[in-house]
Amino acid sequence: MRRTVTTDGVALASGSHTFQKGDKVVMWYPAANRDPAVFRDPEVFDIARSPNNHVAFGGPGPHFCLGAHLARLELNVAFKMLYDRYPDITSVGEPVMLRSNFVNGIKHLRPRIHHDARGERVIRDRQQRYDHHAEPARSRQRAATG
């Protein structure tokens, strides 16, 4: 998000810099939640970090996202279903990070999923991503016909 300062003498809360009218200011989204004064090891992904006063979904206050609770619920359900079906999921190699000034995230992450609870073959790599649903049905047909 880019803005132009409209008033002379606007200071950062820390007092480390004062802006003048006409200065351009950019909010650096990937820097969110990375303040070492707030977060221990801010560059390390720690799902159990505590306290976790992050600013996702607009942070606390008037800009809090009204859909935050639904988004969290959807993610919890999606990951629970994923891990229930594929308890042995692992990643193949390191994730490829998205290069952007506006969002931070993973661009590519190759999963390795072995067998589901029914013993059927599922996604092992990108090559099989599109035909993994059809293969178990063909295998069952071959087994039934001998």
Quote the CA–CA distance of 126 and 132 in Å, as a whole number: 10
**pLDDT digit string (tens) for 22-68?**
999 887 766 777 888 888 888 887 878 877 776 676 677 777 888 88
Q: Residue 75: phi, psi to the nearest 5?
A: -65, -45
Is the pTM here over 0.75, yes or no?
Answer: no
d(Cα 34, Cα 43) in Å, to the nearest integer? 7
The pLDDT, as a whole number, for residue 53 is 72
Q: Strands 18-19 and 90-97: what pairing?
A: unpaired
Residue among 59, 57, 58, 79 at smallest CA distance from 68 = 57
Tokens of 102: 């506006």
Measure the CA–CA gap between 98 and 51, rounded to whole angstroms: 27
pLDDT, tens only, 71-82: 989 999 998 998
Return the higher-pLDDT residue of 14 and 10.
10
Domain residue limits, the chain = 87-146
Of 63, 76, 11, 7, which Cα lies nearest the Cα of 32?
Answer: 63
Distance of CA 123 to the CA centre of its chain: 21
Report yes or no: 82 and 76 within 8 Å, Cβ to Cβ. Answer: no
| AA letter at 62 | P
Beta strand extents in 10-89 (DSSP E only)? 10-11, 18-19, 24-26
93-132: pLDDT as tens digits: 888 988 877 777 888 988 887 765 666 655 544 444 444 4
- Between 138 and 68, name the one with better pLDDT: 68
